[in-house]
Structure 1
Amino acid sequence: MGNRVAVVVGKTVAAVASVAVLASVGVAWGTYRQLQGLGSSSALGADSPKSKDGAQNILVMGLTTRLDRDGNPLPQAVQDALHAGDGTRGGYNTNTMIVIHVPNDGSRAMAVSVPRDDEVTFVDDPLGQHTGKLKEAYGLAKEQKQEELYAQGERNQSTLEQQSREAGRKSTILNVSHLLDITIDHFAEVSLAGFYDLATQLDGIDVCLNHATSDTNAGANFRAGPQHLDGAQALAFVRQRDNLPNNDLDRTHRQQAFLAAVTTKLKTKGVFGSLGQMQDLITVASKDVVIDKDWDLLAFAQQASALTSGNIEFHTLPIKSYSQDSDGSDINVIDVPYVQAVVHTLFNPPAATSSAPAPTTTRPAPPPVKGQGSTVDIRNAGAPDGTAKRLSDALGAVGFTPGEKTTVDDQPTTVIYYGSAAKDDATTLATLLGNAKLVASSVASAHHVAVYLGKDFAWPAGLAGGAAPPPSTPTSVAIPTEGPQGGAVTGGGIPCVD
């Protein structure tokens, strides 16, 4: 599929390559799925939320492991060609995380690469770890599940590997979705060997570099300008990190350029019109790719025509600064609300504004607010900083008793919990705050109300207190074009990158 890989080691490319194939030859894949070589996963459950507007968000994750789906080392010949170490190297980090947004009308697709070293708060605390690099969620959850299975008496290596990888996929999907504040509709996981296999099957790819560069760790040695790379060189092209101005982030641009090059090669080589060539690619991809079991690739290919035409734009999500964690490991410090705003803007571009004046409407003034003295505790769970105090002060002026003001973990919606004697005040607050969810609490004091302000909170029109601060996640923001993440990489040709 048209995907653009993010900050990634070898697996990045694998994910990129194979997924690019899937998206590009989805129709053929739907025809030949009887090959049964493609791995299937239930990590996205049947009850998982789906995008409501008909668009689709596809998560492409590439693993660093040098093992196959059953936990066995890759053939030695493949290990040698990959120049990436043996089965003891790489672990289970998701060094590639790309989300591709495919609109429901076939228009330009947008892809965002999530830098692998972004420090996040894990939603699920895999292996008891609350914070860490986003790329680590897969491996931590996998290890936790494998320990559980082993404790239950499971000893079959293939079963341990497959079931624990399912836990890793679930954790990655959950944490990427939470970080970007989006729904993940489908996903594809690709192994490190996938890139090499694909590039080799295509007889190499064409790329362009702004400067000559080399990296002995990745096996990279490239001149400046356009050049043709075979499979092993292409893997080095996307794996190189050393001797690049922005290290991992420049590697992300390499991987994006690789995807653009793959799409161009598929078109110029006539693969889209050749069932034989498509079947050869499918056979290659079937060894290296796992997708969610409910992904109808035939239907997807019909929707995602922009991918095969090269009408896709790749962006790398911004970071705030570089730092180190308590173990001295390099991390990316990010501004989560800003990252979410960038994703929202790219995936939901603002509509063109009309020059005609907006129609005016007359709305009745909201009824006056009057509390009955209940103590109201405000928990900020996603509203802008300072909102809890402002709201508490405003409610204190209209008959409520101000209580505690604290900050808690984010949640999407506003919820009001109330004690046995505070239902009337809680109902008043729910109406004031836009019909927030009401929950009777058996542990709350009788005359207490606890308001958890979610990300959906908006300052109520019927309450004084001054202009509300801007929302925590802006509706749209200017897309950054400078900084280490760089500007956009577009498909449909051979872009030059560092």
Structure 2
Amino acid sequence: MRALGKIVVAGLALVVFGGTAYGYANLRALDEVTRDSVIDAEGETKPGEQPADGSLDILLVGRDSRSDNQGRPLAPEVLRELRAGANGDDLTDTLIVLRIPNGTKEVKAFSIPRDSYVSMPGGKGKINAAFGRAKAAEAGRLRKAGETDKAKIDQGALTAARRATRQAVEDLTGVKIDHFAEVNLLSFYEISKAVGGVEVCLKEATKDKNSGADFPAGPQRVAGADALAFVRQRDGLPGTDLARVRRQQVFLAGLARQVLSAGTLADPGKLSDLIEAVKRSVVLDASWNLLDFVGQMRGVSGGGIQFATIPVVNVDYRYDSANPRATAVQVDPAAVKAFAASLIGTAAPAGPTGPASPAAPVTVDVANASSKEGLAARVAGVLREKGFTASPAGNTAARRTSLVRFRPDLAGRGAEVAKLLGGLATQPSASVPAGHVEVVLGTVYSGPGAAAGGGAPAGAGDEPITSNGVVCVN
């Protein structure tokens, strides 16, 4: 479900990235898409303006909602087709920030795990709960103020929920969101069918009753309910929930590739179906001028879309001592801000303990906490190829998961190392020597260098995810 927000890119890409005369003319049909006042008026990006933070930033949100974009419940027969239960909730299962740096044609997207534990109004919690908290609070406020019109209460609550989600993302990442797009279960189903399906590849066959997933190993094309099952599957995936994030990033890369292909852009029928699917099911912020956006983005290539995930500290964070079974994803806001800033080549603002410039000199010490012979040396070789001064630090006490440690002043470089190695957990630590970043490779490490063969990636699933080609995943 986390891929839901991402596929909005596909709906816009039909003209943004393709730039065909047919697509541009028909973009006006998207004037009928649902709008909402999500972006603060004083912060709206004006036509032709280049944002002051150096990048046009779009928040893509996917909701595990059993209603349409007008808040009307989906019919039982539709839910059966979607393989979704009747009980939905007000959580955001997808949070993606699409960064388009000023003056460049390179697009970068990064995922925020839905269970990231953050500070927000009402107290700390998982970031995907920001939507439901604000929705309930605003509905209660409106009723208390005397509002009795259900439609007005529902719309006011949804607007507040979307704004709260936007604010939570801004607070965590330090990114000023310029535009907002939201999709739900139905929109994902319709858009994936409209483009004729998406090519994906699995390393192994998989089957999961809860999501409806039932796929063979190898390359295949998925659409509709099967595509929904592909991105929603949770049970049966090896590793943590971050494995599902990677699977969904691969799906979006394939979706972007499919939309940009001649088979879609040159087919008036497919293009029309795609536009209609977007109109029926997508919500955009009220300030987004799509025609101006197309003019700014014309010429961006599909191959320039790159995908990543924010650095995390602990994927099995026990945040509630009263309920030790409750888990979340622990994140370090300073490291996340440094990571987001590095995507456009600038450093996050430095405070008393703020991150240093991403270009700060650093030595990476790589330790092997697994039983894989030569792992530290191979990973150090990968890092040297990326320009780091890196060397193996021998074996260390066995542990399951991998970790990147660094002093607080090197949060930016630590986040960069973690990203290069497949999105490893990160941890600020004053015990790390000055100027050094420590990498501890656990028994489940599967990133670049995991397999024998020098500094080469451990396999197709460890390759960087872009819209250039199909990458096999778990």
TM-score between both structures, scaled by the size of structure 2? 0.72
Partner residue in 1 for 2:112 = 114
Residue 143 of structure 1: how far off its partner (Å): 0.6
Aligned residue in 2 for 1:494: 470
Q: Distance in 2 between matches of 1:238 and 1:92?
A: 19
Q: Which moved more, 1:104-113 or 1:140-149?
A: 104-113
Q: Choose the corresponding residue for 2:99, options 101, 106, 115.
A: 101
Report the 3-state secondary structure (helix = DSSP H, G, I; strand = E; otherwise coil) of the residue aligned with 1:255. helix
Distance 1:70 1:152 in 2: 23
Deviations 1:366-412 (A, max 9, x none): xxxxxxxxxxxxxxx95229xxxxxxxxxxxxxxxxxxxxxxxxxxx
Residues 222 and 305 of structure 1: CA distance in aligned 2, closer, same or farther (over 3 Å): farther
Alpha-carbon separation, structure 1, partners of 2:272 and 2:329? 41
Which of these residues, 37, 40, 46, is aligned with residue 35 of structure 2? 40
Q: Is the 1:382–1:472 Cα contact (8 Å) retained in structure 2? A: no
For 2:301 and 2:416, the matched residues in 1 are separated by 28
AA at the equivalent of 1:497: V
Give CA-to-partner distance per residue, 1:214-264, whole Å, 9 cap, x none.
211111111211012231111100001111123421111121111111122
Percent identity over the alignment is: 35
Question: What pairs with 1:43-442 in structure 2 (closer than 5 Å)?
Answer: 43-48=38-43, 51-52=51-52, 55-86=55-86, 88-89=87-88, 91-122=89-120, 125=121, 129-305=122-298, 309-321=302-314, 322-326=316-320, 327=323, 328-348=325-345, 383-384=352-353
Aligned to 1:353: none
- Aligned mates of 1:165, 1:29 — CA distance in 2: 31
Q: What is the distance in 2 between the residues matched to 1:212 and 1:305?
A: 39
Counterpart in the other structure of 1:431 = none
Contact residue 105 and residue 303 of structure 1 kept, 8 A = no
**Do the aligned partners of 1:213 and 1:222 also contact (CA within 8 Å) in 2?**
yes
Larger radius of gyration: 1
In structure 1, C-alpha distance between the alignment counterparts of 2:28 and 2:343, rounded to whole Å: 33
Contact 1:118 1:134 in 2 (8 A): yes
Give the C-alpha shift of residue 273 in structure 1: 3.5
Q: Distance in 2 between matches of 1:54 and 1:117?
A: 28
Distance 1:262 1:198 in 2: 9
Q: Is the Cα contact below 8 Å between 1:70 and 1:157 reproduced in 2?
A: no
2:300 and 2:249 mapped to 1: Cα distance?
A: 13
Q: 1:299 Cα deviation (Å)? A: 2.5
Measure, in 2, the Cα distance between the counterparts of 1:298 and 1:198.
21
Deviation string 1:427-480 (CA, Å, 9 cap, x unpaired) is xxxxxxxxxxxxxxxxxxxxxxxxxxxxxxxxxxxxxxxxxx964864885342
Deviations 1:92-132 (A, max 9, x none): 1111000011123342211110011010011xx1xxx2100
1:17 match: 7
Q: Given residue 323 of structure 1, which amino acid in structure 2 is its aligned partner?
A: Y
Aligned counterparts of 1:150 and 1:483: Cα–Cα separation in 2? 47
What are structure 1's unaligned runs of at least 5 residues? 1-8, 351-380, 386-468
| Worse overlay, 96-105 or 155-164 | 155-164
Residue identity in the other structure for 1:334: V
* Deviations, residues 266-287 of structure 1 (Å, cap 9, x unaligned): 2335322445532321111111
Distance 1:304 1:142, change over 3 A: same
Which residue number in structure 1 is paired with residue 373 of structure 2? none
Cα 1:308–1:296, aligned 2, differ >3 Å: closer, same or farther?
farther
- SS in structure 1 opposite 2:416? coil
Counterparts of 1:65 and 1:307, CA distance in 2: 32
Asked whether the equivalents of residues 260 and 490 of structure 1 are also in contact (C-alpha less than 8 Å), the reply is yes
| Structure 1 residues 235 and 309: CA distance shift in structure 2, 3 A | same
Cα gap change, 1:239 to 1:470, in 2 (>3 Å): closer
- Structure 1 pair 306–101 and aligned structure 2 pair: CA distance change class (3 A): farther
The answer as to whether partners of 1:70 and 1:158 remain within 8 angstroms in 2 is no
The alignment yields a C-alpha RMSD, in angstroms, of 2.6
Shift of 1:33: 3.3
**Structure 2 portions without partners, runs of 5+:** 46-50, 355-406, 425-446, 448-461
Contact kept, 8 Å, 2:105 with 2:299, in 1: the verdict is yes
Aligned residues of 1:14 and 1:196 also touching (Cα < 8 A)? no
The amino acid that maps onto 2:70 is D
CA contact (8 A) 1:37 1:283 kept: no
**Paired residue type of 1:478:** E
**Offset at 1:154?**
2.6
Structure 1 residues 384 and 30, CA, compared in 2 at 3 Å: closer, same or farther?
farther
Select between 143-152 and 324-333 the one with higher mean Cα deviation: 324-333
Q: What's the counterpart of residue 432 of structure 2? A: none
The SS at the match of 1:65 is coil
Cα distance in 1, alignment partners of residues 232 and 74 from structure 2? 18
- Which amino acid in 2 is paired with 1:118? S
Q: Give the aligned partner of residue 416 of structure 2.
A: 478
Distance 2:417 2:410 in 1: 17
TM-score, structure 1 normalization = 0.68
Q: Structure 2 CA distance, aligned partners of 1:194 and 1:311?
A: 25
